[in-house]
Amino acid sequence: MSTPSNRWLNDIQWDEQGLVPVIAQDANTGEVLMFAWMNREALTLTAEKGEAVYWSRSRRKLWHKGEESGHFQKVLDIRVDCDKDVVLLKIEQVGGMACHTGRRSCFYFRHTAEGEWEAADPVIKDPKEIYK
């Protein structure tokens, strides 16, 4: 039976693996910083902690963003799209970078006229200095 405190989770359209796609967006600038996945537990923890917790599909475990790097995401607002199958987090990115490559955003590539991907944004910090 659903309680009033968790009923909103039942409205999410979870996929066949029990996941929902999540977009992390800078609350001040509107810049999209990253895309990830959440399961029910990750979304519950995100709402409770006020910090982003994702589900790592490759590691098959919960991943508290910033637990290794210190680059936490303070969640200011949680939204869902009209079909309730995509979650949008309005966040404050602690440490200025969201990407494991040491860049502000995971969306740092741009397509060039020569048909190749070119890095458009600089590395803020060498990942070897971030992850031990």
Q: Which domains does the chain have, with CATH numbers?
A: 18-130 (3.10.20.810)
Residue (of 115, 125, 119, 90) closest to 107 by Cα position = 119
Q: What per-residue confidence (pLDDT) applies to 78?
A: 97
Mean pLDDT computed over 17-24: 98
pLDDT band at 73 (very low <50, low <70, confident <90, very high): very high
Q: Which amino acid is at 83?
A: D
Mean pLDDT computed over 61-77: 96
The pTM (predicted TM-score) of the whole model is 0.89
Please tell me the distance from the alpha carbon of residue 21 to that of residue 54, in angstroms, as a whole number.
10
pLDDT at 132 over 90: no
Q: What per-residue confidence (pLDDT) applies to 103?
A: 93
pLDDT at 10 over 80: yes
pLDDT at 4 over 90: no
pLDDT tens, residue by residue, 80-124 = 999 999 999 999 999 999 999 999 999 998 888 788 888 889 899
Q: What angle do CA 29, 8, 13 make, to 5 degrees?
A: 80
Q: What per-residue confidence (pLDDT) applies to 67?
A: 93
pLDDT tens, residue by residue, 49-67 = 999 999 999 999 999 999 9
pLDDT at 6 over 80: no
Token representation of residue 11:
């409205």
